[in-house]
Structure 1
Amino acid sequence: MSAFKNEAAWIMTERAKELEVREGPVPNPAAEEVVIKVAYAAVNPSDWKMQDYPFLNLPYPFIFGNDVSGTVAQVGSAVTKFRVGQRVIGHCDSLLSLNTTNAGFQLYSTCRERVVSAVPDSLPLANAAVLPLGVDTAATGLYHDLKLPLPSLNPTATGKTILIWGGASSCGSSAIQLAVASGLRVITTASKANFDYVKSLGASEAFDYRASNVVDQLKTALKEGDLVFDCISTPDAQMACAEILSSIGGSYLPLVLKPEKGLPGNLEVQPTMGLAPAFTTSELNELPNSWGTGGAPHVGTAVWHDFMPKALETGKFQAKPEPLITKGGLSKVQEGMIILRNGISAKKVVIEIAGEA
């Protein structure tokens, strides 16, 4: 039994308007799990959307939160890659497993070892916290769905171009960098104010998604055999990406949300599940909230263990977007969710839970 005294920000009932800070679940890691003393926890759209418009069946009271950074507090019996006291980031799986110990908005969060990565001393934990869900969603679309070469510190050029729709988003920021690390040329959409930002991540060209002729511009910029990944998935973005991909003879379009209506072209569309890198397919099928998509544990290992630690240390992967830090601990999680609900650009809301030691 763990000796850690835990607290968490709970949503007590479905659609409750305010989270409540109460005693948290006692950490009890399985063999391949890591308990993280949380320094910072990032807020994602799924958090406020699950509060306002729950789209999964959850047992209440429940705890939200996907992304955490901090230090290892405890490891399961089969964990070999991490040690107590090590600085790490982790991707929490509570929305699928329904296990509140594996949620982010608490003092101690438990994560599967496959989706935990070491954080170099040069990278502040507040910045590192922006990464997990964005990276795993991008990695699922690129490697599990589109079957790109896995990321490398010294990639070999593939000769292909990929359009990342929504490059300034959290998922888009990671997708640009991972695609470049896989040897692809990247073009992306963003607001004009974020052109320099997306290019700093490795995009070769940026296109204004608000331009009336942006679809025609992008059709011209791509050729047969190139790829498209929709990291925004508003209805307009889905329609635009489907039209562009159809025009170059493409057949497979990864999206971050299911289409609300039919899309043009004879395309296979696949909503990317950001936690696929944490699970095998058989493990996913046993989960209460399995989304019916395949697992990809090899992607988790390749990205989080083989690539990310060295890429962060050498600066070949940037922890982006920048954190918008809300201080004050677990009582400020609701405030952070409201900030994100109201909309921000090229930043990610991060709650200071315990802070950097």
Structure 2
Amino acid sequence: MANQAAILDQSHGPLVIKDIPVPQCHPTEVLVKVKAVATNAADWKIYQGHFPQVLPALLGCDVAGEVAEVGRSVIGLNVGDRVAGFTQQQMVGMQSMMATGSVASDIRHGGYQKFVPMLPRMIFKVPDSVLDEIATTFGCSFFTAAAGVFKSLGFPFPIPEGAPVREKVLVWGAASAVGAFAVQLLTACHVEVIAVCSAKNFDYVRSLGASHVIDYRGGDVVTQLSGQDLKVKKAFDAISSHETCNACLDIVGEGGIVADVQFLEALRRPGIEMEHINVVDILGEAQAPLLSSLINDWIPKFVATGILKGVQSKIYSGGLNDIDQAIRDHRDGKIAGKAVITGI
């Protein structure tokens, strides 16, 4: 087997295509032959030097592909299985940041290569009816949304079947990749979702299950909610700027809870819970029962039945050579949802 990777060896890029050794498959891993990858915000932030990063680095968290080798301790996966999920790249980076204050150079775990080692607890088997282009969007964004819904907001898992709609939850940034998965997961939890996004995405978020839509460009969101007699005590802020987080805090009020995807401790207010959504919270060993049920049962079932639809994306078909442009387009706001690169 020959391996190539799109490597970041200088801040601001461009990525450079290099021949590198095929990563060794450790006993607890599977080696995946990559078919498609998807960008996420962490990629372009590292690309731009927003984090202290030791170079060279191999980016990429979201992968779909085929199992090429199975570690001797792994059960339930076989060579040839179609899989998708989340590489160890971001988790290893976070651990390095916490230990040393910077992200160590890592050219083993990134998804932007032809072969990548992955942990079974972070991947799922892809149903035959689902394309790689859809499956690869179920990476960082899905697990971040799951951490927000089940850990930060406290919705139960396994999800009770046939339960009545219990409450309303506001999702700000509902058309973003994380927000779109949050809408789908909350809908599956029998929640009445109020989606805040631009008007051009109203039909899209309704197709994901949103019951109400609010245009954040159409005037004060708090006023719009009041005009529609929509009251919520829980909000999922998938954007988490100072502006959006403050608006969510205003909306839920005292006794409410806001889940945010950034560290915004300075905005914390008495009487309102703020829960930072950390994807590592759901990927660690401590959450193995929840993660195992999500990965092995829930995701494949609901992807196959269409309840989970993935997220909107722009397709790039040029393989490793297209990743640099896809990251730049994601950075520049030219991507709705995900950039998906095929032909790896």
- Confirm or deny a common fold (TM above 0.5): yes
Map residues 1-357 of structure 1 onto 2, 5 A cutoff: 4-13=1-10, 15-55=11-51, 57-98=52-93, 99-150=106-157, 152=159, 154-157=161-164, 159-218=166-225, 220-223=229-232, 226-246=233-253, 249-250=255-256, 252-259=257-264, 261-280=266-285, 296-321=287-312, 323-344=313-334, 346-354=336-344
Q: Return the letter of the residue paired with 2:281.
A: A
- CA shift, 1:269, in A, is 2.4
- CA shift, 1:324, in A, is 0.8
Alignment check: 8 A CA contact 1:151 1:178 kept = no
Structure 1 pair 187/234, CA: closer, same or farther in 2 (3 Å)?
Answer: same
- CA shift, 1:320, in A, is 1.6
Structure 1 pair 26/345, CA: closer, same or farther in 2 (3 Å)?
Answer: closer
- CA shift, 1:300, in A, is 2.0
Query: With structure 1 as the length reference, what TM-score do the two structures score?
Result: 0.86
Alignment check: 8 A CA contact 1:277 1:298 kept = no
Alignment check: 8 A CA contact 2:46 2:53 kept = no
Alignment check: 8 A CA contact 1:92 1:104 kept = yes
- CA shift, 1:155, in A, is 4.6
Structure 1 pair 211/265, CA: closer, same or farther in 2 (3 Å)?
Answer: farther
- CA shift, 1:96, in A, is 2.9
Query: With structure 2 as the length reference, what TM-score do the two structures score?
Result: 0.89
SS at the partner of 2:50? coil
Aligned to 1:286: none
Structure 1 pair 35/210, CA: closer, same or farther in 2 (3 Å)?
Answer: same
Task: Name the Cα RMSD after superposition.
Answer: 2.0
Q: Return the letter of the residue paired with 1:316.
A: I
Structure 1 pair 53/268, CA: closer, same or farther in 2 (3 Å)?
Answer: farther
Query: Which range moved further: 44-53 or 270-279?
Result: 270-279
SS at the partner of 1:26? coil
Structure 1 pair 36/275, CA: closer, same or farther in 2 (3 Å)?
Answer: farther
Report the identity percentage.
32
SS at the partner of 1:62? coil
The separation in 1 between residues aligned to 2:269 and 2:219, in whole angstroms, is: 19
The separation in 1 between residues aligned to 2:244 and 2:14, in whole angstroms, is: 32
The separation in 2 between residues aligned to 1:52 and 1:151, in whole angstroms, is: 39
The separation in 2 between residues aligned to 1:65 and 1:111, in whole angstroms, is: 12
- CA shift, 1:42, in A, is 0.3
Alignment check: 8 A CA contact 1:228 1:245 kept = yes
Unaligned runs of 5+ in 2: 94-105
The separation in 1 between residues aligned to 2:281 and 2:20, in whole angstroms, is: 26
SS at the partner of 1:315? coil
Q: Return the letter of the residue paired with 2:214.
A: F
- CA shift, 1:230, in A, is 0.5
SS at the partner of 1:100? coil
SS at the partner of 2:259? strand
The separation in 2 between residues aligned to 1:102 and 1:298, in whole angstroms, is: 24
Query: Runs ≥4 in structure 1, deviation > 6 angstroms?
Result: none
- CA shift, 1:331, in A, is 1.7
The C-alpha deviation readout for 1:148-206, integer Å capped at 9, x for no partner, is 11254945235121111111110111111111112222111111111111011111111
Structure 1 pair 266/353, CA: closer, same or farther in 2 (3 Å)?
Answer: farther
Alignment check: 8 A CA contact 1:243 1:264 kept = no
The C-alpha deviation readout for 1:314-350, integer Å capped at 9, x for no partner, is 11211222x3111222121110011111113644111
The separation in 1 between residues aligned to 2:243 and 2:310, in whole angstroms, is: 28
- CA shift, 1:75, in A, is 1.7
Query: Which range moved further: 123-132 or 168-177?
Result: 123-132
Q: Return the letter of the residue paired with 1:304.
A: I
The separation in 2 between residues aligned to 1:206 and 1:149, in whole angstroms, is: 25
SS at the partner of 1:253? strand
Alignment check: 8 A CA contact 2:314 2:336 kept = no
